[in-house]
């Protein structure tokens, strides 16, 4: 792949994946309710965008089932996973998991502002409304206005993705 006006070819995607895997990234679960079914995905591309107004973003693959649901549903929840939630992150990142009942094995509650599933015992929770979606290569960047933000237990650590694995951080 080359850039249209750039200095030559872009980095090889496999080499890029291996190198970017060395950047620790926080792990979260983004979830919503669509057609009476809870949908969720693990996300490690999450960032704060703005404090005024409060906004955050996450990235989703353009072909993901979750991406289709985002076109139909305006609101969603984001649970920042605590250090003990590695199995939750792995399950919700598993390709081919069933669409129906995927949260049956994940303790969760329902957000009061959005009706979106929120993972229990997370480090923090955000309920959001989609403000914008931007295409970026094979992913879409979803920017959300934060309707509510709640912190979890003060002793909760975090979960990071590094070199293809989730790792607890205290």
Q: Where are the domains of the chain?
A: 25-169
The per-residue pLDDT string of the chain (170 residues; one tens digit each, 9 = 90 and over) reads: 555 667 889 999 999 999 999 999 999 999 999 999 999 999 999 999 999 999 999 999 999 989 999 999 999 999 999 999 999 999 999 988 998 999 999 999 999 999 999 999 999 999 999 999 999 999 999 999 999 999 999 999 999 999 999 999 98
Looking at residue 8, its pLDDT comes to 87
Beta bridge partners, 59, equal: 141
Give the pLDDT confidence score for residue 3 in this predicted structure. Answer: 54
Question: What is the CATH number that goes with domain 25-169?
Answer: 2.30.110.10
pLDDT at 112: 97
Query: Cβ neighbours of residue 78 under 8 Å, at least 6 residues apart?
Result: 28, 29, 30, 31, 43, 46, 56, 58, 125, 126, 128, 144
Cα→Cα distances 28→2, 13, 134, Å: 33, 24, 20
In angstroms, how far is CA 33 from the centroid of its own chain?
A: 15
pLDDT of residue 99: 86
- By three-state DSSP, how is residue 61 classified? strand
> What pLDDT is attached to residue 4?
60
The H-assigned helical ranges of 47-141 are 65-72, 86-92
- CA 35 → CA 99, 112, 126, 130, 144, distances in Å? 11, 18, 22, 18, 21
Our CA dihedral for 5, 9, 11, 12, rounded to 10 degrees, sits at 140
pLDDT value of residue 68: 92
| Distance separating alpha carbons of residues 166 and 170, to the nearest angstrom | 13
Nearest Cα to Cα of residue 74 among 113, 120, 125, 29: 113
113: helix, strand or coil: coil
């Amino acid at each position: 792949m080359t850039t249209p006006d750039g200095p030559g070819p872009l980095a090889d995607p496999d080499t890029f994946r291996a190198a970017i895997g060395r950047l620790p990234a926080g792990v979260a679960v983004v979830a919503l309710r669509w057609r009476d079914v809870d949908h969720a995905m693990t996300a490690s591309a999450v960032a704060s965008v703005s404090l005024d107004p409060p906004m955050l973003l996450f990235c989703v693959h353009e072909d993901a089932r979750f991406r289709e649901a985002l076109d139909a549903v305006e609101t969603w929840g984001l649970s920042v996973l605590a250090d003990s939630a590695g199995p939750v992150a792995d399950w919700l990142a598993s390709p081919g998991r069933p669409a129906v009942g995927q949260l049956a094995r994940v303790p969760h509650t329902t957000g009061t502002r959005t009706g979106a599933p929120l993972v229990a015992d997370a480090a923090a929770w955000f309920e959001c409304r989609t403000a914008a979606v931007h295409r970026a290569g094979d992913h879409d960047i979803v920017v959300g206005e934060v309707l509510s933000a709640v912190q979890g237990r003060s002793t909760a650590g975090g979960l990071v993705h590094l070199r293809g694995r989730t790792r607890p951080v205290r």
